[in-house]
Chain A
């Protein structure tokens, strides 16, 4: 369980808060997506939660322990995948995983089996300094789950991955969730968040702007419109119909009855469009 209440952080102590009154919780067996552009405050929150930054104001707890009271033994329960690679470059991929596995006093995964899951078995004996960015990213992710953590922090885990490997990594993330881990996923990739997260929060300029399940948010911010494509005298045509009103529903029925209907698309909001609506800026900015 991750619990954060009214968290504030001011790097300079001049009242310019990087994070202001942020509150959320992540229950065991759920993936909580923290969505926001660079500099929104996502990493600040993660760094406070892992003790890399001091807790200034507010409350933050991991599995019932205040983050200011975390001792090294507590990290047996935690996994962390950083956005930037921080591996031992002189060690091989296998040695990096085996080294971290050796630090834990809880049961750990077999490094070789994990490497094989993400297609790194052949490169297991290669020094990390020779790995590509994507290979390092995979290794970082594997390192974060080697101790089967109760609490998992993932910072842009899909960054630099090819689509096939990204799928495997997403499956592994879901496995952790199904095992009961509370996962905080920090990303500006709305598609990954939409696919993986049970709940998401939009954060911008240090403040949470909206929170809910992706479905709830999309329904809450979307319009009840459909876009229909059909043929009229043999030529392709399309219309946007408002199903909230009787004329729209009747028009849709008429096109369907005519037999000319080709496709129907809902126009529900995307996480990206909701973020733009809330902030006036894009997630990837």
Chain B
């Protein structure tokens, strides 16, 4: 365990010193401000709309009379922004930064030195995944707090659990992808492609809701919407199951890729 805690301390120090905190704080501020701006837009739209549905609206058609009790609820813009940013910004934190950290270690050669220590691959990988998962959850909570969108206490454990699972999955995928590249330039095109695929479900949500189950981002989006009361609560279990299954597949793949490309004899 001593070696694992040593690696945790290393990863935390690297996270704290590598310029990451500044980047994270800037992005956090921008994201929270965008939610506040959209909240103002939502409020302005509400104020500009007529009395709204002050009373039941009646529609008459032939012999039938319909009474509209309430319009189908659609989350406000700023609420949708919160779930979107939770999935496509908070959860990909580890995906991006674990790759940056890995390339930094390639460049300075420290990973080569580490390979000739008794630290081993399992501890190395475990420490990275744990640190970036915790960082992802902490960043998510900070984002919700800064956006004044912290959920009710009852929903908080679910939000934390889904953030942790999603961050862990994306960080694992980040390591998997990074193991096939030597530097940021090589990594960038496939990473952007993968992130675009991950975002596709959000773009297709209106016309093809089932598409969300084709990518981790869509599954996580369904989960967060259920947790934050923006939609049906039913997909929550499916979202956890989907992300859990994806993680069960991604972990061994990432392990094998790192073993073959980074840690094995002849690796970098």
A interface vs B, CB < 8 Å? 50-55, 68, 72-76, 78, 80, 82, 84-91, 95, 99-100, 102-105, 143
Instruction: Give the docked Cα–Cα distance between A99 and B3 (Å).
Output: 9
Instruction: Give the docked Cα–Cα distance between A68 and B117 (Å).
Output: 16
Instruction: Give the docked Cα–Cα distance between A181 and B117 (Å).
Output: 17
Which of B17, B110, B116 has a CB less than 8 Å from the CB of A50?
B116
Question: B116, A103: Cβ atoms under 8 Å?
Answer: no
Residues of B within 8 Å of A87, CB to CB, are 108-110, 113
Which of A80, A84, A99 has a CB less than 8 Å from the CB of B10?
A99
Instruction: Give the docked Cα–Cα distance between A89 and B18 (Å).
Output: 10
A53-B266, A72-B120, A80-B116 known; A99 vs B6 contact (CB < 8 Å): yes
The yes or no answer to B2 lying at the interface (CB within 8 A) is: yes
Interface size on B, residues (CB 8 A): 27
Instruction: For the complex formed, measure the closest distance between the CB of B17 and the CB atoms of chain A, giving whole angstroms.
Output: 5
Residues of B within 8 Å of A82, CB to CB, are 109, 112-113
Instruction: Give the docked Cα–Cα distance between A138 and B214 (Å).
Output: 53
Instruction: For the complex formed, measure the closest distance between the CB of B109 and the CB atoms of chain A, giving whole angstroms.
Output: 3
Extra contacts, 10 of them, besides A87-B109, A88-B108, A102-B2 (Cβ < 8 A), are: A50-B116, A51-B116, A73-B118, A73-B120, A74-B118, A80-B116, A87-B113, A90-B18, A100-B113, A102-B5
Question: A52, B118: Cβ atoms under 8 Å?
Answer: no
Question: B109, A75: Cβ atoms under 8 Å?
Answer: no
Interface residues of B in 1-39 (CB under 8 A from A): 2-3, 5-7, 9-10, 13-14, 17-18
The B interface is mostly helix, strand or loop, or mixed, namely: helix
Q: Which of B110, B114, B119, B266 has the most CB of A within 10 A?
A: B110
A-B CB contacts (within 8 Å), total count:
84
Closest to B119 in A: A103
Instruction: Give the docked Cα–Cα distance between A64 and B113 (Å).
Output: 23
Instruction: For the complex formed, measure the closest distance between the CB of B121 and the CB atoms of chain A, giving whole angstroms.
Output: 8
Residues of A within 8 Å of B115, CB to CB, are 51-52
The yes or no answer to B265 lying at the interface (CB within 8 A) is: yes
Question: A143, B113: Cβ atoms under 8 Å?
Answer: yes
Closest to A78 in B: B116
Closest to B114 in A: A103
A53-B266, A54-B265, A105-B118 known; A86 vs B113 contact (CB < 8 Å): yes
Question: A75, B116: Cβ atoms under 8 Å?
Answer: yes
Q: Which of A51, A68, A73, A105 has the most CB of B within 10 A?
A: A51
A86-B108, A90-B13, A90-B14 known; A80 vs B113 contact (CB < 8 Å): yes
Residues of A within 8 Å of B266, CB to CB, are 52-54
A88-B108, A90-B17 known; A102 vs B113 contact (CB < 8 Å): no
Instruction: For the complex formed, measure the closest distance between the CB of A36 and the CB atoms of chain B, giving whole angstroms.
Output: 22
Residues of A within 8 Å of B105, CB to CB, are 88
Interface residues of B in 235-258 (CB under 8 A from A): none
Instruction: Give the docked Cα–Cα distance between A52 and B110 (Å).
Output: 14
Residues of B within 8 Å of A104, CB to CB, are 3, 117-118
